[in-house]
Amino acid sequence: MENVSNVDKLESIKSFQSTISKSEKALAQMTQKAASTTLLKKRLKALYIGLAILENVWNQRPHPYTQEDLAEARDVLVGLFPSIKNIYAKSKAGSPQKTLLERRMKALELAIQAINISFD
């Protein structure tokens, strides 16, 4: 974790913030339509935790999450990879979407690493 460049740190935090924002908008829309929001709420909580753990490791910001919260978030974040990789594989080389997905996967990997380190 200590060998992460400042650019990667900034891009990872921005990626989490962007993903959280998109998820919050999706949650609001789904709530209006009375759709099931259980899975999205679980993912959103994991994203909040992922962002918090990165800010904790890199900026020494405290977070309120328990080891149980961290373990659950790690599992949810790991579970996001198959769908992201599937979308990534279908994206055109050099496209903005491909770049965004690369940054998202890097951010998720770093958050999972940070969570794993917190268990040591």
pLDDT at 84: 96
Asked if 47 contacts 20 with a C-beta cutoff of 8 angstroms, the reply is: yes
Confidence at residue 120, expressed as pLDDT on a 0 to 100 scale: 75
Give the model confidence (pLDDT) of 31-42 as tens digits.
999 999 999 999
pLDDT on residue 10: 97
In angstroms, the CA 35 to CA 103 distance is: 29
Which pLDDT does position 31 carry in this prediction?
Answer: 93
d(CA 36, CA 66): 26
State the CB neighbour count (10 A cutoff) for residue 37.
16
pLDDT of residue 24 exceeding 80: yes
Q: Could you read off the pLDDT of 85-120 as tens digits, one per residue?
A: 999 999 999 999 999 999 999 999 999 999 999 887
Question: What residues contact residue 66 under an 8 Å CB cut-off, 6+ apart?
Answer: none
Q: Would you call 3 helix, strand, or coil by DSSP?
A: coil
Going by pLDDT thresholds of 50, 70 and 90, the confidence category of residue 2 is: confident
What is the tens place of the pLDDT at every residue in 41-77? 999 999 999 999 999 999 999 999 999 999 999 999 9
